[in-house]
């Protein structure tokens, strides 16, 4: 799953005072000034403000003195509560043959631009060029709303989308709307857009209708093709531009299966993944990947990550067979190599996500990189990154296609980031590891009844992880030692399990680190092709997962809840229902080591972390607007440019930042009208370089919501 729900951080004065009465704490306590609490009309909880003496070791950033902060609008400080903060569950969810000259939708996942007009020396001269609003109101959505677009510049149009899957063509210089296509998707529980794919019919005349087409899926599981120049439906594709995609079994509610990410197109074949609702039933729909002819919409082939053919070699890794199981879906973006005619799938866990007693074995094809032949859908190679996944460690990011030096020569490679913060690199033609992989023993007890874990899990040798892989007795959990004291007390009193990565799920509750939201998530990484450095944003907040025996599960409580502190899933057909909750200190902050989110530069050749910095400020989340960088888990992508800059939104503080790619220093910031949960794009138009950031937020994280695209350029 991409995530589990939003959580408000509550600075609860009465709870704090109650815990402060602990006599053991007073032996080491320093005075902390308290202020009178006030009620917030945004929550039913009484909230207080707490004046904290932040520990000296909290890292803050000194910005270059010349930096000027640009704002789109004045945003009042949200005094009185850590409002909207979903950080705790952060939970957690390219050139190609046959494509037009395009910026932004390259299918290699590298997120790198060779443009350098905007650079370290002049980035503080950026100003807002224009702002576009899609018109979709995320506040009226009954369910999840997230603007996670990856804009595309093609045929002279800047292509963007809205949470209802409307597609817009904008003037790249002014943001003026040229056309709009509305697929008329009905309201569902999942309202998001992650962009569109594109394909050029090289056999068609230059000015023919739909010679260049945009192809995208929708929340009601349809596949559309429209003309990239005019926005009109392609009449030769399916039924007047639309194909109804079948699910493997009838869905129980609208939105149980959706097309959540943009398709890929390889040599005229459109390949589409899906998001399947997690933890709703053991016999959930299959995560089938479907393929269609890009010209006609004709069905070509399908691949099921949960194998069904008894002659498939992968069946040997499913101890009881695969009848009655589903998922393994591809909810993130895929990658494609047209020269090899290969499509690369980042698959997820089989149902259910946190308990696998009903599906013994390693469960091959799930939680794997699977390379399929584009023309036929046959498996060419596969590499599993988690055996018998019971941690919801889906592969969340698009595989990155790069050249990786081996013995001084570039080898076409595939780099895969994972929620665990482990980085795997394979030969993308054969699947052979280019960074050696070793199987290491992992914790095996205590286990819930019926569960049999893999005794080992794969780790890349020598490649440092991007996040902390364990919680130890020595970790300071929270903002300071007061937080840590109470967090430890809660863990001890409740008997929660914690330890290294792959600590088993349990009935008493397991503190999972990294959490199911990462580590890295769908926004992926950027890659410097010259220096072989990747830049990766990561969430670093653990979560508490508890398996609830079926005979103790309250049917009224075990249901999916969006945007609440505790998530409950009935999991019918399984031995266990599921509870997922944040572990919070009495101060209302996560029981997690700092920072709570970070940005990392990793040299993938020398296998060395070059720098690692907190990502995000608590300025809009704290009782007073303190610009302290503790990290705020979120969602979104980033962009690396030849100007030596890493641009990223991502955070809950509604800020677009530029980091120096060499040092990790913040060199520029701009306030956004909502959280920047999409992927930024840069392009040159009429001699000027533009930077465009989708800013619509993500309701699962409790971020500020909106419908904006904000463009920047240098002052003249």
11, 55, 64: which is closest to 35 by C-alpha?
11
pLDDT at 700: 86
According to DSSP, residue 700 is labeled G
Residue 582 is predicted with a pLDDT of 79
Q: What pLDDT, on the 0 to 100 scale, is given for residue 567?
A: 63
Closest CA to 575 of 455, 445, 454, 447: 447
> Average pLDDT of 391-398?
96
> What is the edge-to-edge ordering of all strands in the sheet holding 342-346?
335-337, 342-346, 368-373, 379-384
- What percentage of the chain reaches a pLDDT higher than 70? 83
- Total-model pTM: 0.87
Which band of pLDDT confidence, cut at 50, 70 and 90, is reported for residue 552? Answer: confident
3-state helix/strand/coil string of 182-198? CCCCCCCCEEEECCCEE
For residues 519-541, b (16+ Cβ closer than 10 Å) or e, as one string? bbbbbbbbbbeeebbbbbbbbbb
CA torsion sign, 342 to 345 to 350 to 355? positive
- Angstrom CA distances, 519 to 23, 138, 179, 541, stand at 37, 27, 38, 9
C-beta of residue 177 within 8 angstroms of C-beta of residue 132: yes
Tens of pLDDT, residues 48-88: 223 322 222 222 233 333 333 333 333 333 323 333 333 32
Q: Which two tokens stand for residue 255?
A: 């939105």
**Per-residue pLDDT at 32 exceeds 90:** no
3-state SS of 118-130?
Answer: CCCCCHHHEEEEE
Q: List, for residues 407-434, the tens digit of each pLDDT value.
A: 999 999 999 999 999 999 999 999 999 9
pLDDT tens-place string over residues 446-489: 888 889 999 999 999 999 999 999 999 999 999 889 999 999 99
Assigned token pair, 666: 């913040």
Measured distance between the N- and C-terminal CA atoms of the chain, rounded to whole angstroms:
45
With a CB cutoff of 8 Å and minimum separation 6, the contacts of 79 are 49, 623, 624, 625
Q: Cα angle vertex 632, ends 467, 113, to 5°?
A: 75
Q: In sequence order, what E strands does 62-109 have?
A: 102-103
Task: Give the residue from 267, 264, 427 showing the smallest Cα distance to 338.
Answer: 267
SS3 of residue 646 by DSSP? strand
Q: Catalogue all structural domains in the chain, each as residue range(s) with its CATH number.
A: 112-714 (2.140.10.10)
Q: Other C-beta atoms within 10 Å of 73: how many?
A: 8
CB–CB of 626/634 below 8 Å? no
Phi-psi region of 622 (alpha: psi -120 to 50; beta: other; left: phi over 0): beta
Residue 436, both tokens: 């050696």
- Determine the distance from the C-alpha atom of residue 531 to the mean position of all C-alpha atoms in its chain, rounded to a whole number: 25
**Taking residues 326-354, what's their average pLDDT?**
95
More confident residue, 174 or 582: 174
Question: What pLDDT band is residue 557 in, cutting at 50, 70 and 90?
Answer: low
Strand order in the sheet with 423-427: 400-406, 409-417, 423-427
Q: Are 489 and 591 in contact (CB under 8 A)?
A: no
Pairing of strands 112-113, 638-641: parallel
More confident call, 480 vs 211: 211
Burial of 654 by CB count in 10 Å (0-12 exposed, 13-18 middle, 19+ buried)?
Answer: buried
Closest to 643 measured CA to CA, from 123, 83, 110: 123
Query: Do residues 706 and 674 lie in contact, with contact meaning Cβ atoms separated by under 8 Å?
Result: yes
Please answer whether residues 679 and 670 qualify as being in contact, where contact means their C-beta atoms are separated by less than 8 angstroms. Answer: no
> What does the block give as tokens for 515?
């959490």
What DSSP letter does each residue of 390-427 carry, written as one string? Answer: -S-----SPPEEEEEEETTEEEEEEEEE-TTS-EEEEE
CA angle 267, 385, 395 (to 5 degrees): 60
d(CA 332, CA 3): 13
Q: What is the pLDDT of residues 126-135, one digit of tens each?
A: 999 999 999 9
Structure tokens, 469: 């892989």
User: Distance between CA 400 and CA 386 in Å, rounded?
Assistant: 19
Q: If you search the block for the tokens 């039913």, which residue do you land on?
A: 44
The pair phi, psi for residue 139, each rounded to 5°, is: -75, -15
* Number of Cβ atoms within 10 Å of the Cβ of 150: 27
Cα–Cα distance between 138 and 313 in angstroms, integer? 45
Helices (H) and strands (E) counted in the chain, each on its own, are 3, 45
- Judge whether residue 632 has pLDDT over 60: yes
- Whether omega before 486 lies within 30 degrees of 0, making that bond cis, reads no
Q: Which positions are catalytic?
A: 392
β partners of residue 303: 289
Which residues are bridge partners to 153 per DSSP? 103, 158
């Amino acid at each position: 799953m991409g995530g589990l729900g939003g959580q408000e951080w509550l600075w609860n004065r009465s709870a704090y005072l109650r815990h402060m009465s602990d006599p053991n704490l007073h032996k080491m306590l320093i005075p902390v000034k308290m202020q009178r609490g006030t009620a917030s009309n945004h929550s039913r909880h009484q909230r207080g403000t707490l004046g904290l003496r932040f520990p000296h070791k909290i890292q803050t950033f000194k910005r270059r003195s010349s930096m000027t902060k640009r704002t789109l609008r004045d945003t009042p400080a949200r005094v009185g509560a850590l409002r909207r903060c979903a950080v705790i569950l952060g939970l957690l969810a390219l050139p190609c043959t046959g494509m037009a000259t395009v910026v932004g939708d390259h299918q290699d996942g590298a997120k790198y631009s060779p443009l350098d007009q905007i650079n370290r020396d002049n980035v503080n001269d950026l100003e807002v060029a224009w702002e576009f609003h899609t018109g979709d109101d995320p506040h009226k959505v009954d369910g999840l709303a997230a603007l996670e677009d990856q804009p595309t510049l093609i045929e002279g149009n800047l292509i963007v989308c809205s949470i209802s899957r409307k597609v817009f063509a904008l003037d790249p210089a002014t943001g003026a709307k040229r056309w709009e296509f509305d697929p008329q998707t009905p309201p569902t529980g999942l309202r998001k857009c992650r962009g569109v794919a594109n394909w050029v019919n090289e056999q068609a005349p230059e000015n023919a209708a739909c010679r260049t087409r945009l192809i995208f899926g929708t929340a009601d599981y349809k596949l559309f093709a429209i003309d990239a120049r005019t926005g009109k439906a392609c009449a030769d594709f399916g039924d007047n531009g639309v194909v109804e995609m079948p699910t493997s079994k009838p869905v129980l509610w609208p939105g149980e299966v959706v097309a959540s990410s943009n398709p890929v197109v390889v040599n005229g074949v459109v390949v589409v993944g899906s998001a399947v609702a997690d933890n709703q039933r053991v016999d959930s729909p299959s995560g089938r990947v479907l393929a269609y002819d890009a010209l006609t919409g004709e069905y070509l082939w399908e691949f099921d990550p949960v194998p069904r053919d008894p002659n498939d070699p992968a069946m040997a890794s499913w101890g009881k067979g695969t009848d009655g199981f589903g998922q393994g879906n591809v909810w993130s973006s895929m990658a494609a190599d047209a020269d090899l005619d290969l499509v690369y799938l980042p698959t997820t866990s089989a149902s259910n996500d946190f308990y696998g007693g009903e599906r013994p074995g390693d469960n091959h094809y799930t939680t794997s990189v699977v390379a399929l032949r584009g023309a036929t859908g046959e498996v060419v190679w596969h590499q599993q990154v988690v055996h018998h996944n019971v941690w919801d460690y889906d592969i969340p990011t698009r595989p990155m296609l790069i050249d990786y030096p081996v013995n001084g020569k570039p080898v076409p490679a595939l780099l895969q980031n994972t929620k665990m913060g482990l980085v795997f690199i394979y030969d993308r033609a054969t699947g052979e590891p280019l960074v050696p992989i070793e199987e290491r023993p992992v914790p095996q007890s205590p286990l819930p009844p019926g569960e049999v874990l893999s005794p080992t899990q794969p780790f890349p040798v020598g490649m440092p992880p991007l996040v902390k892989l364990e919680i130890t007795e020595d970790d300071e959990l929270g903002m300071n030692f007061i937080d840590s004291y109470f967090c430890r007390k809660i863990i001890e009193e409740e008997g929660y399990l914690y330890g290294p990565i792959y600590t088993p799920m349990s009935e008493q509750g397991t503190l999972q680190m990294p959490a199911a939201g990462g580590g890295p998530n769908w926004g992926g990484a950027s890659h410097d092709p010259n220096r072989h450095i990747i830049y990766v944003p990561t969430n670093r907040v653990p979560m508490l997962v508890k398996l609830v025996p079926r005979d103790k599960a309250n049917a009224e409580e075990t249901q999916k809840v969006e945007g609440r502190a505790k998530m409950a899933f009935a999991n019918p057909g399984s031995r266990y229902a599921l509870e997922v909750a944040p572990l919070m200190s009495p101060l209302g902050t996560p029981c997690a080591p700092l920072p709570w989110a970070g940005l990392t530069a990793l040299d993938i050749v020398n296998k060395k972390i070059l720098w690692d910095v907190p990502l995000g400020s608590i300025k809009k989340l704290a009782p007073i607007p303190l610009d302290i960088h503790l990290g705020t888990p979120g969602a979104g992508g980033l962009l690396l440019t030849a100007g030596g800059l890493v641009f990223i939104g991502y955070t809950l503080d509604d800020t677009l930042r530029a980091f120096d790619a060499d040092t990790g220093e913040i060199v520029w910031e701009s306030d956004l009208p909502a959280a920047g949960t999409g992927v930024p794009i840069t392009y040159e138009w009429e001699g000027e370089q533009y930077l465009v950031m989708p800013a619509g937020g993500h309701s699962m994280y409790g971020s500020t919501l909106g419908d904006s695209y904000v463009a920047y350029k240098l002052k003249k």
